[in-house]
Amino acid sequence: MLCATLFVACTRGDPPKYTGAVDSVEPIPPAPVRDADIDVTPDVWIDPGTLPQTRDMPAPTGAVETRAAALWDAIVNDDPDRAMPFFFPVGAYEQTKAITNPAVDWKHRLVGNYLRDIHALHRKLGSKASSAKLVGLEVPTENAQWVPPGDEGNKTGYFRVYGSRLRYEIDGRSAAFDVSSLISWRGEWYVVHLSGFK
pLDDT at position 28 is 40
pLDDT at position 152 is 85
Bigger pLDDT: 29 or 123? 123
pLDDT in tens, 32-45: 444 444 444 455 66
Is residue 31's pLDDT more than 60? no
pLDDT at position 45 is 67
pLDDT at position 198 is 61
The DSSP string of 14-44 is PPPP---TTT--PPP--SB---TTS---TT-
pLDDT at position 47 is 87
Is residue 65's pLDDT more than 70? yes
Is residue 27's pLDDT more than 70? no
Is residue 22's pLDDT more than 80? no
Question: Which pairs count as long-range contacts for 68-74, CB under 8 Å and 24+ apart, including other chains?
Answer: 68/6, 68/8, 68/134, 68/136, 68/137, 68/166, 69/8, 69/12, 69/15, 69/134, 70/15, 71/118, 71/166, 71/191, 72/8, 72/134, 72/166, 72/168, 73/15, 74/118
pLDDT at position 29 is 42
pLDDT in tens, 84-138: 999 999 999 999 999 999 999 999 999 999 999 999 999 999 998 999 999 999 9
pLDDT at position 24 is 35
Is residue 157's pLDDT more than 90? yes
